[in-house]
Amino acid sequence: MPNDSIRRILTVPKRSFFLFGARGTGKSTWLKQKFQNTLFFDLLKSSLYLELVQNPSRLEAMAGSLPEGSWIVIDEIQKIPELLNEVHRLIEDRKWNFALSGSSARKLKRKGVDLLAGRALTRNFFPFSFVEIEDVFDLNISLEWGMMPLIQTSRGEAADLLSAYVDTYIKEEIREEGIIRKLSPFLRFLGVAGILNGQVINSLNIEREAAVPRSNVDSYFSILQDTLVGTFLPAYRPNLKVREQSHPKFYWFDPGVARAASGFLFQPVGRLWLGTALETFIFNELRIYNQSSGRNFPVYYYRTAAGSEIDFVIETRKKNPDSNPHVVCIEIKLSDKWKNEWEKAVRSIAGESNIEVDRMIGVYTGSQRYDFGKFQVMPVIDFLKDLHAGNIY
């Protein structure tokens, strides 16, 4: 299964756009597939990098006399943030379209450059989605090793490849860009953050476990977000009560990379880990569907101080003066048998007078579908098919 033979579901926007995604997700491969016979600038090439970093205005001369509406691709745009000023001018003056890819928005933010003042859209690129590799999809492999293209196309070498991936991430995204002064504290944090994938984040506990200052913990999480290897899942607070959980969860962009960061690559993982991996996998499928469908509904989790939890709450309609918010609730379980007691948290929120629960869904690793009085239970594969067909929300 060659990587470049797989059709990705992201479509090309009709105007200039940024394409952000973690290293190794296949951005460059996708760009080369979609923009064949298009002027392509790869800033990883040292000679090109040196010329443009010294004189960004050379970009126009390199492009030549392209007609209006032509596309130009610049890969790894974060290598030369100052180039965006020139891109901005060329969009205005020459009416060219640009596809600008990068594995980090951090350097662009640090330089304070103008992200084209709304003249370019933003798209995110993820590891493979189920719908892209459905014919060869294996849930067990995907939970243990993740959905990164190189892993799925070279499954027998997964552990070694993931180990090398984390090393590359640290070298190229962290050390070379000079994001942190000392690497050792960050490495300790990285291991703890990998173990805490999918869990509620308490900076004080991480400070103790990783032996790093609290201020560093917050900064390190910001680095993981800016380099696109993780994202926070906020708590849903429909009643804004003190007793409702308000700390966010942190999910890695791929369960295999989380496993590599935590140091578990060369030892068996238990069911607790696999359960979190299943949540991570489903969460990223929700993110992919949100973008591909154009829905972009906010996703949350919900847990009270008493410990009742709903894995994912998708708000399909926000509260307004005339109506309550509408949500879809999803509970995820790594189990071949469904237990009705797992529905308790979802049914409890459905009983609230100030919120409308449009659908209640349980997703599990069994094979039978059930309909328990408005609470639907689906096998993982059925849920994924329904999700990407637009039948969940």
Mean pLDDT along residues 93-105: 93
CA 144-130-366 angle, 5° bins: 65
Mean pLDDT along residues 239-256: 80
Mean pLDDT along residues 152-164: 96
User: Does pLDDT of 294 surpass 60?
Assistant: yes
Q: Which residues contact 391 (CB under 8 A, 6 or more apart)?
A: none
User: Does pLDDT of 119 surpass 90?
Assistant: no
On whether the CB atoms of residues 3 and 153 are closer than 8 A, the answer is yes
**What's the chain's average pLDDT?**
92
Mean pLDDT along residues 105-124: 75
User: Does pLDDT of 114 surpass 70?
Assistant: no
- 241: pLDDT confidence band, cut at 50, 70 and 90? low
Secondary structure of residue 315 in the 3-state scheme = strand
CATH 3.40.50.300 segments of the chain? 3-124
Output 237-244 pairs: Cβ under 8 A, ≥24 positions apart: 238/302, 238/325, 238/349, 238/352, 238/354, 238/355, 239/352, 239/354, 243/304, 243/305, 243/306, 244/302, 244/303, 244/304, 244/305
Packing angle, helices 183-195 and 203-210, rounded to 10: 120
CATH 1.10.10 segments of the chain? 130-272
Tokens of 211: 């032996």
- What pLDDT score was predicted for residue 183? 86
Q: What is the CATH number of domain 280-388?
A: 3.40.1350
CATH 3.40.1350 segments of the chain? 280-388
> In which residue are the tokens 């997700």 written?
25
Mean pLDDT along residues 323-343: 96
User: Does pLDDT of 376 surpass 80?
Assistant: yes
Q: What is the CATH number of domain 3-124?
A: 3.40.50.300
- 239: pLDDT confidence band, cut at 50, 70 and 90? low
Q: How far is 234 from 189, CA to CA, in rounded Å?
A: 21
Q: How far is 371 from 311, CA to CA, in rounded Å?
A: 19
User: Does pLDDT of 2 surpass 70?
Assistant: no
- What pLDDT score was predicted for residue 202? 87
pTM above 0.75, yes or no: yes
Q: How far is 232 from 338, CA to CA, in rounded Å?
A: 28
Instruction: Give the architecture (CATH level 2) of 130-272.
Output: Orthogonal Bundle (1.10)
b (16+ CB within 10 A) / e for 294-317: eeebebbbbbbeeeeebbbbbbee
> In which residue are the tokens 């307004």 written?
320
